[in-house]
Amino acid sequence: MKNKIIEVQNISVSILKEELDDYICITDIAKAKSGELSSADVIKNWLRNRNT
């Protein structure tokens, strides 16, 4: 298990590497996109989307 942080459009996003798989932290992305909404609301709305 290895953690790494990358910078994407001035947003720090955590990446977890486990053997052959990489996982990104969608909470980090949601915090940057939230505005008036909380990051939990952004993630709930994203998961509710039929195209996700």
Whether 23 shows a pLDDT value over 90: the answer reads yes
Q: What is the mean pLDDT of residues 11-17?
A: 90
18: nearest Cα among 30, 36, 4, 38 = 4
Q: In which element (H, E) is residue 16 found?
A: strand 11-18
For residue 29, how far is the Cα from the chain centroid? Answer: 4
Q: What is the mean pLDDT of residues 1-27?
A: 87
Whether 3 shows a pLDDT value over 80: the answer reads yes
Q: In which element (H, E) is residue 19 found?
A: none
Q: Is the pTM of this model over 0.75?
A: no
Within 13 A of 4's CA, how many CA atoms are on the CB side? 12
In 10 A of CB 47, how many CB atoms?
Answer: 9
Q: Which residue has the higher pLDDT, 43 or 37?
A: 43
